[in-house]
Structure 1
Amino acid sequence: MGICSWLILGGIAGWLASIIKGTNARMGLFANIATGIVGSMLGGFIFNLMGGSGVTGFNLWSLLVATVGSVILISIVQAIRK
């Protein structure tokens, strides 16, 4: 995957995760992209531990993995802030 694919997938995954967690109003474009990229790494690590595959390219499976990882990342950040 190229850098443009990472940015697009990360942006979509971060945006979906912020909608799921209710933080969409506080997050901008760059926060969504950063959350999605870091979340995809976290999600890929977790899915690999469970025996699945992580981010495999620009497809729906990778979007699911990145979104799950982003939701976990946002949950961790919210828990630390409280």
Structure 2
Amino acid sequence: MERSTWNPQKRPTDTGAHEPTEELTRVALSKPVETEDGVLPAGSMGTVVGIYRGGAAYEVEFAKPFHTVATVMPDAIRHARA
């Protein structure tokens, strides 16, 4: 399981294209993300509340399965389907 941490000095090595994501966009996790509060399973839905370095990482607020705010890498999220 991948622990999602963000280092402002290191750029992501992933060169794949990701959908542009703006603040207040609903997203879903494409893979589990470990947080200080526990593990968010793939499929957990949240809202982008912050963007780091033009999309190098995102701050996402989740309400379920528990309330937390997590820094998530772009390859771990996808736009949520309504």
**TM class by shorter-chain length?**
under 0.3
Relative to the length of structure 1, the TM-score reads 0.26
Identify the structure with the greater helix proportion: 1
Identify the structure with the greater strand proportion: 2
